[in-house]
Amino acid sequence: MLAVAVGGALGAVVRYALIQWLEKRAQPFYMATFIVNSVGSFLMGMALHLFQSSVMLALFVTGFLGALTTFSTFAFDTVRLLKINRHKAIIYMLLTLIVGFGCIVLGYKIR
């Protein structure tokens, strides 16, 4: 439990810092979610090979990556974007899913 809590705290802080950094650079609100979900998917694929210990899996995958990446924010951003521009929302949704799956496969294949 402690490993999940520590990893989760770190992942949440990294995600929040990235959101703040991108907002200062006038990036669209959904860009941070896209980046963390893509990077997190890649790292999760790599974690399948890197970590054999259940404590490290709990710390890094469940804790850190679980807090860094977020499906609920992806869904929330998609709904917000649908209200602004339906075409961009559909592209965002499809790109997030395709890139996310591609990143996890790529991360898994890299050894």
Q: Residue 69 annotated as binding?
A: yes
Torsion of CA 62, 68, 72, 75, to 10 degrees: -130
**Helix, strand, coil % over all residues of the chain, rounded to 5:** 85, 0, 15
Annotated binding site: 66, 69
Annotated binding site for Na(+): 66, 69
